[in-house]
Amino acid sequence: KQIMNELIEMLKHHYEVDIHNCAMTHEEWIKELAKAMLDKGYKDKFLAEYKDYKEFLNQ
């Protein structure tokens, strides 16, 4: 449960949902969810992308 909550917070931050700046449509969210369900490496790819995103913000 804790891991899920941490991932939810990372996703909110990464996609800027927390600041109401997410430009993704419902259709794009559905496609992203489908990718996450089918791609075994999706979580690792997301975590790497999120790390890069945080580093970019901290420059």
Query: In the chain, where are the structural domains located?
Result: 2-57
pLDDT surpassing 90 at residue 17: no
- What pLDDT is stored for residue 56 in this prediction? 93
Q: Which two tokens stand for residue 57?
A: 């913000």
24-51 pLDDT, tens digit per residue, is 899 999 999 999 999 999 999 999 999 9
Higher-confidence residue of 19 and 52: namely 52
pTM of the model: 0.77
Cβ atoms of residues 18 and 12 within 8 Å? yes
CA angle 2, 21, 48 (to 5 degrees): 50
- What pLDDT is stored for residue 34 in this prediction? 96
Sequence-distant contacts of 22-25: CB under 8 A, at least 24 apart: none
Higher-confidence residue of 19 and 54: namely 54
